[in-house]
């Protein structure tokens, strides 16, 4: 209980890495901020605009990751990622945005193997797969995603955001 009183979050996960909960002292008390974010998330134009900004930033980041970390960045993949980034702004509604995002994820993971070559170790990573994972990289990705999710949830909560209210999945 000392951690809770000190404002240190305690995160609980299943053995498979799924986050089940967070114990954290008193919640952030900025009710005005939480109300504002809830309203914006509920309004289609504003919510879609924020979702597009987030997806565009993610696309650009992954393109930079390929360019910086791949020994021979595949020109076709970089060109395809740039094309998909250009499709984000005119996308309407969110279902279209989700489809574009899914295609970009496929392109990214198809060429991610080149970014994880590590000296004498060679990883046979061609594509993303799950349940059960078929290689060491796919086995560790869910664990790393759960650690990233924990950090994102805790960070959002620390500044008074509602981590479960999103901007991306609005339907008309």
Q: Distance between CA atoms of 145 and 163, rounded to whole angstroms?
A: 16
Please state which of the ranges 50-54, 55-59, 66-70, 119-123 shows the lowest mean pLDDT: 119-123
pLDDT tens digits for range 87-121: 888 877 667 888 888 888 888 877 777 776 655 55
pTM above 0.75, yes or no: no
Lowest-confidence pick of 66-80, 102-116, 125-139:
125-139
Whether the CB-CB separation of 10 and 23 falls below 8 Å is answered with yes
Is pLDDT larger for residue 152 or for residue 94?
152
């Amino acid at each position: 209980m000392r951690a809770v009183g000190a404002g240190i979050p305690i995160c609980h996960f299943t053995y498979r890495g799924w986050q089940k909960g967070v114990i954290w002292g008193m919640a952030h008390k900025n009710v005005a901020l939480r109300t504002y974010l809830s309203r914006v998330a509920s309004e289609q134009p504003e919510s879609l605009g924020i979702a597009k900004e987030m997806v565009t930033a993610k696309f650009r980041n992954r393109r930079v990751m390929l360019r910086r970390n791949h020994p021979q960045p595949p020109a076709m993949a970089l060109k395809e990622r740039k094309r998909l980034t250009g499709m984000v702004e005119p996308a309407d509604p969110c279902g279209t945005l989700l489809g574009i995002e899914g295609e970009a994820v496929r392109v990214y993971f198809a060429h991610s193997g080149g970014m994880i070559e590590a000296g004498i170790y060679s990883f046979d990573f061609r594509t993303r797969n799950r349940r059960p994972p078929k290689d060491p990289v796919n086995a560790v990705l869910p664990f790393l995603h759960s650690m990233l999710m924990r950090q994102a949830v805790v960070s959002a909560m620390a500044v008074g955001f509602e981590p479960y209210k999103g901007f991306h999945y609005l339907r008309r």
